[in-house]
Structure formats: structure tokens, C-alpha cells
């Protein structure tokens, strides 16, 4: 098994979502000894956001790009190649203002490329990142699972599925801002979900 763990918290240390993601990865390693793991921390090494310069580079034919444009596209190419090379992805996902972090959005924008990770066909779009297992380790201050306030899970199911990653398991650690007892329960609940993997 080749595992890619993506930490998407704005914090490099003391991140609840990273703690849950680490526990998922540890469980996978215990079940599949000899597996390889690559960890990418998007707070320690942030990926640039999709802006006008990046769009200009992406929409310029490769043989016509300036050195600066080629370097910008190469940053996205590296993330795409990394995802293509693994069979298992663990995403550490905090909730910020009811949404995913800008770090995760920048990563998703980088790996979603027409003709490379998805394509449009006469039958509609087709995701090209197939045969991958994704674990999403969610950490939230409140209780949002299965409520209208949870915009993360529907969005992540949609965008990952659009890219071809349809085998997705969500692990929840919720109530982390609701006092010490709630924190203990949140991590215990997450541990139980991880043990069931």
C-alpha cells in the first residue's frame, strides 16, 4: 500500500485534524506492514492559490510558456504526480467557518486539471484518479455530522468523486470546542471509527 497523507490545517502543530489523520495512517500501517507513507503538510509547505497568473500559465500551451509560467505549472504537476502514484489518501480536514481550509482548497484546485485528472466526454465528465481509497479525517469544534450546517462532506464527496475517487470514508472528531469532556468523547469516537477500518 502506498499512502499519501495530506495535512490541511493552518496549524503545523497542535492540529486536531492532523492528530486524527495520523491515527488513521497508523491504523493503516498496522494493518498493512511494509506500506510506504508520504506526508505533505500544507501549512509548513503551502501551495499557491489559483490566481490570474496561475490560470494564465495553465492556459498557455506548454511550448509557449515563459520560464516563470513553466515553474508555476510544475508546482501543480508535482501534486498531481504524487496523487497518481498512490493508492490510498488520508486527508486531515479541519472546519473553518463551516468550510474547508484554504490550504485544502488550493490542493484541490491544483490536482483538478481537465484532460489529466478528469475529462469531459459525450456522456459527461469522467474522473481519471480511479482505484484509490480515501480517508477523510474531520475535526470540528461543534457537532455538524448529518446536519444542514455540514457543507464539507457533500462538497468533498462531490469533488473527489468528480476526480474519480469514489471510495471515501469519513472519520469524525466533533465537539472539540465544547469542553474537556466533549474533547475526550470526540477523540474516543474517532478512535472507534478508526479501529473499524
* Architecture of domain 2-195 in this structure: 3-Layer(aba) Sandwich (3.40)
**Do residues 119 and 125 touch, judged by C-beta distance below 8 A?**
yes
Q: For 110-165, what is each residue's pLDDT tens digit?
A: 999 999 999 999 999 999 999 999 999 999 999 999 999 999 999 999 999 999 99
Residues annotated within the binding site for FMN are 9, 15-17, 95-98
Question: Residues 107, 33: contact at Cβ < 8 Å?
Answer: no
C-alpha cell at 137: 479525517
Res 12: pLDDT = 86
| pTM for the model | 0.95
The H or E element containing residue 56 is: helix 52-58
pLDDT at 170 over 90: yes
- Please return the burial class of 72, using the count of CB atoms within 10 Å of its CB with bins 0-12, 13-18 and 19+: buried
> Cα(25)–Cα(6) distance, rounded to whole angstroms?
11
- Distances in whole angstroms, Cα of residue 161 to Cα of each of 64, 123, 132, 157: 33, 16, 11, 6
State mean pLDDT over 90-113. Answer: 98
Write out the three cell numbers for 184.
475526550
**Buried-state track 95-134, b at ≥16 Cβ within 10 A, e below 16:** bbeeebbebbbbbbbbbbbeeebbeeeeeeeebebeebbb
Alpha-carbon distance of 19 to 34, in angstroms, equals: 22
Grid cell digits, residue 6? 495530506
Whole-angstrom distance, CA of residue 6 vs CA of residue 22: 10
Q: What is the CA radius of gyration of the chain?
A: 17
Segment 74-96 mean pLDDT: 98
Give tens-digit pLDDT for 61-75: 999 999 999 999 999
What's the pLDDT at 162?
98
Bind-site residues: 9, 15-17, 95-98
Amino acid at each position: 500500500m502506498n499512502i499519501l497523507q495530506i495535512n490541511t490545517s493552518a496549524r503545523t502543530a497542535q492540529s486536531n485534524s492532523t492528530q486524527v489523520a495520523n491515527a488513521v495512517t497508523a491504523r493503516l500501517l498496522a494493518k498493512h506492514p511494509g506500506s510506504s507513507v508520504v506526508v505533505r503538510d500544507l501549512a509548513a509547505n503551502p501551495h499557491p492559490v489559483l490566481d490570474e497568473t496561475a490560470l494564465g500559465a495553465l492556459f498557455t500551451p506548454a511550448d509557449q510558456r515563459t520560464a516563470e509560467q513553466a515553474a508555476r505549472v510544475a508546482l501543480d504537476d508535482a501534486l498531481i504526480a504524487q496523487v497518481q502514484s498512490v493508492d490510498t489518501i488520508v486527508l486531515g480536514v479541519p472546519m473553518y467557518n463551516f468550510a474547508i481550509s484554504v490550504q485544502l482548497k488550493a490542493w484541490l484546485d491544483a490536482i483538478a486539471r481537465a484532460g489529466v485528472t478528469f475529462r469531459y466526454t459525450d456522456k459527461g465528465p469522467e474522473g481519471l484518479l480511479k482505484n484509490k481509497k480515501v480517508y477523510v479525517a474531520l475535526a470540528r469544534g461543534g457537532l455538524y455530522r448529518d446536519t444542514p450546517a455540514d457543507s464539507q462532506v457533500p462538497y468533498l464527496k462531490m469533488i473527489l468523486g468528480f476526480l474519480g475517487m469514489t471510495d471515501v470514508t469519513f472519520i469524525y472528531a466533533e465537539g472539540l470546542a465544547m469542553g474537556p469532556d466533549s474533547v475526550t468523547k470526540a477523540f474516543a469516537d474517532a478512535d472507534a471509527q478508526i479501529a473499524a477500518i
